[in-house]
Every structure is written in C-alpha cells, then in structure tokens.
Amino acid sequence: MTENTRYPWGVGEARIIQADDTTPRAAILRTLWQELHLRYADLLWEQQGRLVMVRDGRLEQVTVAKLSPFVTHAVSLGKATNKGEIKMRAVDRGLIGDVVEGPQAFCRPLRTVVHAPYLGLDGKVVTRPGYDAAAAIWLEWQGPPVDLEAVTLALEHEVLARLLDYPFVDEADRAHALGLILTPLLRPAIEGPTPLHTLISTGPGTGKTYFCRSVGVVAEGTEPSMRGFDDWSSEAARQLTTYLLSCPTLLVLDNLPTGTRVGGSDLHRCLTADGPIGLRPIGAGEERMVDVMCTWIATANNPDFDDEMVRRTIPIRLHHLPGRKWMTPNLIAWILEHRTLVLACLLRLVQRWVEAGRPAPSRVRDGYLAWSQVVGGVVEHAGLGPWLHPSHEVVSTERGEWSELLGRWPRDSAGRYLDLRPKGVLQVMKDLDLHTLLDSIAGKSPESRLGRLLASTARGGRSHDGYRLEVVPVSGGKGYRPIAPSV
C-alpha cells in the first residue's frame, strides 16, 4: 500500500490511500486511523475502549452513520489501473464499522467533558479550556476568564446567600446543599464514588426541582435533563445505564412518586463504583464499561430507601412554607447572567481550602472517603455545618421494620425471648403488618426465602436499634431469637 503523491492532500481535501485487492485490511485500517487522528484529534476520543466524539461541547457515542461523513471527507481509496490511472472509491461501511468497533489506539483517552472550571488532583483550579491530559478531561468553556483573585468576601457572602436561599430544615441541610453545588466542580479531584444527594420534603412547592435546575446551570451553563423513575425494574436499570454512557455532569432523578422505594442492585453498584463498571444499556446485548463521573441528585416527597441505600444517600430536607419571599425571584436567570462570578466565588472557597492545607472535615461517610474529605473539607472550611451529623441520616422503612420485629419478638411468661423457626417469624411479621419485609420475601416459598434472610442477618451480625439476631438449635432445624441491646 502506498500514498499517491500525484494527488496532494490537505486539511480540506481527502487523502488518497492507494490499495488493491492484495492490500491487507489491517494496513488500510491503520492508515485510515492515522489520518483520522491527524484531522480530528479534538473530535474523536477513546473512552473505555469505545470510540466517542465531542461535538458542540457534548460527548456522543460514535456510530457508523455518525462517522461516515468524517471518513468520506478525510480519506478515499485509490486503485491503480493498467493505464496508470487511479480508480477512486469511497471507504465502505464495513471498514468504517471496523474503525468504530476496533481498538482505539490512535485516540487520546477521555473520561468526560465538563463545562465549568474545576479542581484537579494536583490541588490546582483548572480554568484553561481544552484537554487536560493528566485528568483525561475536556473543559468546554467559552465565557470570560474566571478570575478568582477578584473575589471579595462580600461577593462570596452575597453569592452563597442567593444560591442557598431555600427553606432548609436546619444548618446541616444547608451544608449538604452547598456540598451538592460544589461536587461537580470538585468531581475530578475525587478519587472514588459520590453519593446520591436527595432533596426531601413532605409535599410539593418547596423548591426541590428548582434547586436541582439551578445546580445544573451553575455546573453546565444550562438546565440538566430530568429523569423520572417510577420503580427500579430491570428496564429502569438499563435506562439508567444508557444515561450514564453519555457521561452527564448531573444525573437527576426528579419527582420520585410519594413512597417510591429507592434502591436496587444496579443503583447500588453505580453509587459505590470505585472505577469503571460493566453495565448493560438499552438495545445492547453485552455489557459496556462505564466510568461513573456524574453528580447524583434525586427529588422526592416522603421517599422510602432500601436498607442498602441509607449509607449511599445524603439527605437535604426542605420545609413547605407557603408565601415565603425569595431573595432572588428568578434565581436561574440571575445565575446565567452572573455565572462567571458565581463560579469564581465557589472556586475561591475551594482555593482557600487548598491554601489552608486541605483540612479534613469533622466526619466522613463510609464508602465515600474521598468525597467526604474533599467536599466536606471545603464546606466546613467555609464555615458551614454540621457536616454528616449522625442524627441527619435517612432511615429506611426496612430498617425500621427490623427494629420493630426484634423489639416486639414474642416472649414466654418469664419474659424470655421465644426461639422461633422461620414459619413462626413469618406469622409475627404478618401480625405486625411489616409490609416492606413481607414484600422482600414475596413469591414462591416465602418461608424458605425468609429463612435465608434470617440466616444472613444473624451471620452478618447486623444491629437494628441495638438488637441483633442469633441462631439457636430447635427441634428439627434452626431457630432464631433476638439479643437485646446491653444497658
């Protein structure tokens, strides 16, 4: 295979690759890849072994249809005839498909695209648009320079007062709200997962969704897409995976219906993934590796979290205060008009924390050590708190029902706990109407499923309000009884 030097090529002209029927396909692909890389270095990228492109500041998965116009513009194949002429032909779709599906060796790696300056792993605030090779992040920024040195304390106080002008229940909720606003700007410096920030109220009209929209405008310059999930079926899990493949800055689960049970194994995995994980999106027959870099948000009225979601959730509670006066009636319009200033003030908080030696927060959350230290450190250094106070955790209905079951376990006349087999425990659950626990074992053989649940609870030594469960021998099998909390 040779280049046809009789046909000069440039940026605006297609390069002619001379090849005949004996030219190895791999050689054509290699030359084609080299040419695409030269022409489209800031368009085509490698992400977890896949070919992706950045267009209009957004990351897209590449398909044959999307790539074909770029290949046609960049390369044509030429075959020499007996008369010494070059017979031209376009690159066929099969070759383009091989480009899309093959190893992306000529592309630079890209984790995500962000639309606001951010804190890098080295402790420096990145404000320069373009590619950050150390972080494998593309900063899409077309606004004026973000000048942190021009920020005064008065400006900081005004910006924070406007951004946090919501009817939060207490100061811990206000601190968590600031943590949510900061998380997208700090995400590249967090080596690990981030939790689900859930805005909770007892009814509508508290500003939960508006707050999420304003967070999106700060982080991206536009309002985020709002996703709705009525349940956590396998289809909903695939929808979630499809959204994650687009590498959103924010993933917002908006207006979960009252009483919605939030959880499921796929959501659990995504929220604790310390690195890329395999997920199966809609329309795909096999898993794809996903690098979860988004900030997670949900809004709900009286949500119900499964037991595994409790430690994965950061609650932000709001009061319903009819007739409340807002400091900024149209906050989103104000943020759009003053976005550069807003970002400068927020990043100045971050910069001061770094200059102070990155002091650690008073508390961290298990499973989210890096997030707790970075975000909590900035929030507490800014003077807000308490951060992650133990009394401020969400409580799952499941955990509450376990506490009720163990606390109201049948006793004998001497006050000792009875040793019960799964069948007896099932009857107690029905008598107490513990619907969440009953739903968890619904289906075929609920007694057998309950037996496995009781065994795993006892084996894991899980405590519910101080009560634990132990296995005891009974006639014909295993039984169970509670161990009361020590006084």
pLDDT digits (tens, 9 = 90+) for 50-88: 899 998 888 888 999 999 988 888 888 877 777 777 787
Are 197 and 314 spatial neighbours (Cβ–Cβ below 8 Å)?
Answer: yes
Residue ranges of domains in the chain: 2-101, 149-392, 397-483
In angstroms, the CA 132 to CA 24 distance is 36
Q: Where are the alpha helices (DSSP H) in 315-396?
A: 331-337, 339-355, 369-381
Q: Which residue has the higher pLDDT, 185 or 390?
A: 185
* Domains 149-392 and 397-483 alike in fold: no
Residue 145 predicted with pLDDT over 60: yes
Question: pLDDT tens digits for 249-280?
Answer: 999 988 877 656 677 777 888 899 888 888 77
pLDDT of residue 141: 94
pLDDT for 203:
75
With 0-12 / 13-18 / 19 or more C-beta atoms within 10 angstroms meaning exposed / middle / buried, residue 11 is: exposed
CA-based torsion, 459, 461, 462, 467: positive or negative: positive
Q: SS3 of 132, please? A: strand
Percent of all residues in the chain with a pLDDT value above 90, rounded to a whole number = 47
- The residue ranking higher by pLDDT, 243 or 342, is 342
What is residue 2's predicted lDDT score, i.e. its pLDDT?
Answer: 36
Max mean pLDDT range (79-83, 91-95, 285-289, 394-398): 91-95
Segment 418-441, tens digit of pLDDT:
999 999 999 999 998 887 778 767
Average pLDDT in the 388-406 region?
76
**DSSP secondary structure code for residue 390 in this structure:** G
3-state secondary structure of 99: helix
Residue pLDDT, tens place only, 121-130: 999 999 999 9
Q: Counting Cβ atoms within 10 Å, is residue 98 exposed (0-12), middle (13-18) or buried (19+)?
A: middle
* Alpha-helix residue ranges (DSSP H) falling in 55-92: 64-74
pLDDT at 9: 33
List the one residue out of 440, 417, 444 whose CA is nearest residue 429.
440
What the block records as the tokens of 88 is: 């031209």
The C-alpha atoms of residue 98 and residue 186 are separated, in whole angstroms, by: 37
Residue 229 pLDDT level (bands cut at 50, 70, 90): low
In which band, very low, low, confident or very high, does the pLDDT at 242 lie, cut at 50, 70 and 90? confident
Name the more confident of 195 and 435.
195
pTM equals: 0.79
What is the CATH topology of the domain spanning 149-392? Rossmann fold (3.40.50)
Architecture of domain 397-483: Orthogonal Bundle (1.10)
In sequence order, which ranges of 76-207 are alpha helices (DSSP H)?
Answer: 93-101, 153-163, 171-186
Q: What is the pLDDT of residues 336-384, one digit of tens each?
A: 999 999 999 999 999 999 999 999 999 999 999 999 999 999 999 999 9
Mean pLDDT of the chain: 86
- Record the tokens describing residue 238, joined without a space: 């695939």
CA distance 300 to 30: 51
| pLDDT top residue among 327 and 288 | 327
pLDDT of residue 37 exceeding 70: yes
Residue type, 53: M
